[in-house]
Amino acid sequence: MAEVTFYHQERVDGGRRSGVTVDGTPVLHGFVPGTNEYDPALEWYADVTLATANPPTQANGLTWLNSHAPEIRQSLTEAADCLSVGIDASSMPAEFQRFDAGGRPIRVTVSAMRRLTGRHVGEKLRQLAEMDWAQLFPALTPQG
């Protein structure tokens, strides 16, 4: 079984970095630059990690992500529900675990670097779960 992690990071300057790793090796990566004054410091991040016998490759990373979107989105939504009033600095990073239909664990790890962001991290997780993920990987998405 390979350990696959979908990650999403948001920076102070509004930039977003997302991707997928397999056992720590990147297979999918996207970066959307921020619009504010350059500041690469992280504001918050979320990782969703699951075990699979059929991990993605660089050739099919986006297809794999889209096929596993329901379980990843559900995991993000459940974590958002738990963090609906925020996250306390003493409990970061926060981890949540659920199980997929096959009984395999899915782990969500969330952290916010600033107190104010921590208060709204549940909303941010919910927005990520509802987002069209093609927006996270613009270089890989055909423009129509």
Domain residue limits, the chain: 2-137
53: left (phi over 0), alpha (psi -120 to 50) or beta: alpha
What's the chain's average pLDDT? 88
Q: What is the pLDDT of residue 100?
A: 81
pTM of the model: 0.90
Query: pLDDT tens digit string along 121-143?
Result: 889 999 999 998 888 887 765 44
Query: pLDDT tens digit string along 69-79?
Result: 999 999 999 99
By CB atoms closer than 10 A (0-12, 13-18, 19+), residue 3 is: middle
Q: What is the pLDDT of residue 144?
A: 39
